[in-house]
Structure 1
Amino acid sequence: MHHISDEQRRIRLARRHLLTPALRTDSPVAVADAVVALHATDAATVFLSVCARLRTPNVAAVEKPLYEDVSLVRLLSMRNTLFTVSEALAPQVEASNARAVAAKERRTFLKHLAEDGKGLDERWLNDTEEAALAALTARGTATGSELSAAVPALRTKITVFPGKKYEAEQGVASRVIRVLAAEGRIRRDRPRGSWTSSQFRWTAAEPRPVLATAEAQAELALRWLRSYGPASEADLKWWTGWGLGQVRKALAAVEAEEVRLDDGSTAWVAPGDTAFEPAPEPWAALLPALDPSAMGWADRGFHLAAEHRAALFDRSGNIGPTVWWNGRIVGGWAQHANGEPVWRLLTDTGLDATAAIEEEASRLAGWVGEARITPRFRTPLERELTT
């Protein structure tokens, strides 16, 4: 069985995730494909992750594929989480994950409607959705509030979890919009405010090809192995949110190759992907909260020391902004109130690393400009650095 060392895993990460200066690109779509999918729960993360890998980072370069030619699309998909993927990969992600997520969103919402006791049923929901789509088509784009003003049914309120201690009254507009977006019938357009805002406008979406689930899962698994392999079944199961049976079927379908890691465990790579790779030039990176390079595996031991987890993760397992040196997470960063990036190393990396990290911090400050970034998921070190 072929052996792939932890050092080789770090080299692969650097090359395949476009993290060294020599491998940076001019294409945000190429960045998305290199990491398969960009975390998009926090709007700023997409911009920060992409620009860390662009030769010339700037906001407009990311806005164009998101809102003009729509070559990048947001999908509620893996682990019921919002991701941004290339339009070319979107049908596979939709079939392998997003379709099931959308079906669950609809079932859950219909259950809440039934429990409310006002007689709101599937027919009412269908009629409300059609009215919302008609209003959106007529306007071109609209915020949730603007749609509610145009469609009276969206101003309906229901009681969720009636009789429970956490019973609450909720408006239906956000739930209707969430279902329509999950099903790919509408998409997020430019936000109100700056690129860091999550208050999106909405617009109608073009339908995508309908693919078979098993074939789509195999293709997604292969793409993921090429970007993240070697990785274990547990890693792929965690990243996709699939059941273990689905993971094993997908690995078998692509004829994934088993390899041995430094700790003696086994993992998987894409067929034939076992060649030795030379180390790139030394590199540093400041990556945002939830960046794919930090969130791609369940077991991150090859690039993250266990003793650093408490400072860099929140209680739900979300990683905050990280500082990297030659394939390892060595610290964290935040944005000071004056806009400057501030960072702290959690391990001694030497003067060369410090100089490279300072250069990356200056590069980040240069394109972020006057924008202020507060991660949605705050971590202990990020909070400490901002205060």
Structure 2
Amino acid sequence: MVAFEHPHPHGPLAPTAHLELPFFDDHHRAMAHRLVEWLKSQQVDESDDRIACREWVRRLGDAGWLRYCVPQVHGGALPALDSRALVILRETLAHHSPLADFAFAMQGLGSGAITLAGNPAQQARYLPAVATGHKIAAFALSEPEAGSDVASMATRALQTTEGWQLDGRKTWISNGGMADFYVVFAKTDPQAGARGISAFIVDADAPGLDTSHHIAVMAPHPLATLHFDRCSLGQDALVGSLHGGFKLAMQTLDIFRASVAAAALGMARRAFAEAVAHAKQRKMFGQTLADFQLTQARLGEMSALIDAAAMLTYRAAWMRDCSSANGAGTPAYTAAAAAAKLTATENAQKVIDMALQMFGGRGVQVGNVVEHLYRDIRSLRIYEGATEVQLLILGKHALKA
């Protein structure tokens, strides 16, 4: 299907009124307006998710949007990764096409560890290519028996005379089977739990890496299980410090957690726009659906859920970018990002469900925008820290206060 088919040529435009909130600076606002204009002409056939993702990466790279995934010194748009820019980009892209958002986000997440801890040679080799879309990135942390419990991972990295040897499996890996490189987390000290994990760059053509096991999911995205069988890496594959992988993984996820909330927010705003448009034109019992007080109350509830999620999302991004007292890596920021991810994904699920209900039978028809969103939103409540994990983060933070 083409990205979100709609009676109008390009669907409803992403809203921009929220950009006037004090969380954002003028350059954020200007960027958002440029992106909305650019997206008007972007329609991609998404019937094959892998082909579509490659196409979105190419377009996003050619247009310069992927430059927001890396620092300026390596071809990026801004001096450092900017959470508010990421939030705006992901919200707007997800409003247009969740797959476009996915393609953008994975470039940032997949290269984030290299941005944070890579040596100059690693950064020079990979980050400029990520910024142009010439290399597709992937982040490989989860395993069949190690999802939220990262410390229980079983993939091993053994040091050899030539470098490193990886053995094990990673699963639910976004861009699996199509990425040009993977940042892979593996145990370098199996007895040390989370303190014995290290990060490695694994090129797609590395000997002993098999990425052919693709995973089909309810909302098609390129996912795969990676098999490492005596996978041979050079000495220069290690990213950051030995045994420093767990902290690096958490730092990377921390940067992008608020942007996951933004993606959910973009989907919720799109579902709301579709519901409002439908309510205004749907004829029932001699009047429109919008004339019924029950419809008006439902739209009011949806609007409030979206606004609540937006405030928490923008606050978390602002805290990381702007507040020296509550900056990145502090318990206050981690809690704010958890609250944003929790609330935005859960609220978006509710909003999209209510929008689908408003469409009646048409809502479950394959190809309808809200049907597509209904499938797309579900995974956001799981990946990059499930709802239950965010609740634990917030509960522990409250007890330490």
Give the TM-score of the pair, scaled to structure 1: 0.31
Give the TM-score of the pair, scaled to structure 2: 0.30
Greater RCO, CA 8 A, separation 6+: 1
